[in-house]
């Protein structure tokens, strides 16, 4: 990134967490529909039906899928229970698909910040439902202040449910030790760089050093024979993983966010690499949009164009119309 792009990314990550701006967007009859249009490049829609419709089309094209009802940091018990019911319904609706789906979620969406016991019981119920339908759960990673609580809960869950996986953020300095911890357990590991703004004493910034850290952690997971999802849009990392002959190993897949680098997804699929696309839906899309734009600030121009020319969204690059 250029210095200007880094500054833009920093601003986007800051406003993503500004509740005043989020509320202003949510209640504005002008801003809400405009920004929702921009978000639809990365979010399948606001309803489960929107997500399932796109999922069915992508599955027919040969992609594997992860799906998430967006939400996090929920402090209202009613909303937590509503989220649980939505995830149960999503798990049931995934029976319309023919390959195993990764049901992804933030633990803070299911009650982690209210009652850890409640969150644990919610995930246990989801794990059982998913097991019966042939799907699996993938716990997402959140800000570093929650990392220990998330890893600890995963350790408890994975001892009881083999279809529960965990996400590791390579940028955190602690992640080398965290990978060693989770490699003792049976679930899938999803490796990401990390999207959250963190202080330098806790995490690496985007850099060559971070790429090297990501490859080191990927090497640990792949060589351990663990089922792993290498989630990255970074061409340099993808090329290095390919050069190490990791992408055709039976325990490895590449995971990409819906709407981000669809041309890479297509190219990898054409080469016979298993590609999983991460589909999101729901009304809590504001933070998600900010993070996608922060990862590649030039996409701000694309977002503005999308707002005023919705025809641009009819085909996000997967051959869909």
Q: Are strands 164-169 and 136-139 parallel, antiparallel or unpaired?
A: parallel
Q: Is-contact 289 46, C-beta < 8 A?
A: no
Average pLDDT, the chain: 93
Cα distances (angstroms) measured from residue 111 to each of 74, 78, 226: 7, 10, 29
| pLDDT number for residue 294 | 86
Name the β-bridge partners of 89: none
- Is the full-model pTM beyond 0.85? yes
Q: What is the mean pLDDT of residues 90-116?
A: 97
Is position 283 annotated in a ligand binding site? no
Query: Which of 154, 129, 126 lies closest to 140, judged by CA?
Result: 154
Is position 220 annotated in a ligand binding site? no
Q: What is the mean pLDDT of residues 123-138?
A: 96
CA 180, 143, 194, 157 torsion: positive or negative? positive
CA angle 149, 153, 154 (to 5 degrees): 115
Contacts of residue 51, defined as CB under 8 A and 6 or more positions apart, other chains included, come to 44, 45, 67, 90, 279, 280, 281
Model confidence pLDDT, tens digit, residues 22-62:
889 889 999 999 999 999 999 999 999 999 999 999 999 99
Is position 1 annotated in a ligand binding site? no
Is the per-residue pLDDT at 228 higher than 50?
yes
Residue 258 backbone class (left: φ over 0; alpha: ψ -120 to 50; beta: rest): beta
| pLDDT number for residue 6 | 83
Cα distances (angstroms) measured from residue 70 to each of 42, 75, 192, 279: 12, 15, 18, 10
Is position 233 annotated in a ligand binding site? yes
Is the per-residue pLDDT at 320 higher than 80?
no
Model confidence pLDDT, tens digit, residues 82-102:
999 999 999 999 999 999 999
Is position 195 annotated in a ligand binding site? yes
Share of the chain above pLDDT 70, in %: 98
Cα distances (angstroms) measured from residue 102 to each of 88, 194, 219, 236: 13, 19, 22, 26
Q: How far apart are CA 301 and CA 93, in angstroms?
A: 35
Cα distances (angstroms) measured from residue 127 to each of 113, 121, 137: 20, 10, 6
Is position 55 annotated in a ligand binding site? no
Model confidence pLDDT, tens digit, residues 255-286:
999 999 999 999 999 999 999 999 999 999 88
Query: Which of 289, 287, 283, 288 lies closest to 306, judged by CA?
Result: 289
pLDDT band at 321 (very low <50, low <70, confident <90, very high): very low
Q: What is the CATH number of domain 44-284?
A: 3.20.20.220
Is position 232 annotated in a ligand binding site? yes
């Amino acid at each position: 990134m250029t210095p200007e792009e880094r500054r833009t990314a920093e601003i986007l990550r800051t406003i993503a967490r500004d509740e005043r701006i989020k509320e202003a967007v949510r209640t504005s009859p002008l801003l809400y529909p405009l920004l929702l249009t921009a978000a639809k490049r990365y979010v399948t829609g606001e309803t489960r039906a929107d997500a399932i419709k796109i999922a069915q089309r992508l599955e027919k094209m040969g992609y594997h899928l992860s799906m998430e009802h967006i939400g996090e940091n929920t402090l209202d018990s009613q909303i937590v229970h509503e989220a649980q019911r939505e995830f149960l319904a999503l798990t049931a609706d995934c029976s319309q698909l023919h390959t195993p789906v990764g049901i992804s979620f933030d633990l803070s969406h299911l009650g982690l910040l209210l009652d850890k016991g409640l969150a644990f019981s919610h995930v246990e119920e989801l794990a059982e439902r998913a097991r019966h339908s042939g799907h699996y759960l993938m716990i997402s990673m959140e800000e570093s202040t929650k990392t220990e609580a998330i890893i600890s809960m995963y350790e408890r869950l994975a001892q009881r449910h083999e279809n529960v996986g965990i996400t590791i953020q390579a940028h955190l300095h602690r992640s080398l030790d965290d990978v060693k911890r989770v490699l003792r357990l049976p679930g899938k590991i999803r490796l990401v760089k990390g999207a959250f703004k963190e202080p330098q004493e806790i995490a690496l910034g985007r850099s060559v050093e971070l790429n090297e850290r990501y490859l080191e952690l990927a090497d640990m997971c792949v060589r351990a024979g663990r089922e792993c999802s290498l989630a990255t849009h970074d061409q340099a990392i993808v090329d290095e993983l390919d050069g190490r002959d990791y992408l055709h190993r039976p325990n490895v897949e590449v995971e990409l966010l819906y709407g981000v680098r669809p041309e890479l997804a297509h190219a990898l699929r054409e080469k016979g690499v298993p590609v999983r696309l991460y589909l999101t839906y729901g009304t809590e899309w504001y933070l998600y949009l900010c993070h996608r734009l922060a990862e590649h600030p030039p996409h701000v121009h694309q977002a503005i164009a999308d707002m005023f020319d919705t025809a641009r969204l009819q085909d996000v690059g997967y051959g869909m119309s």
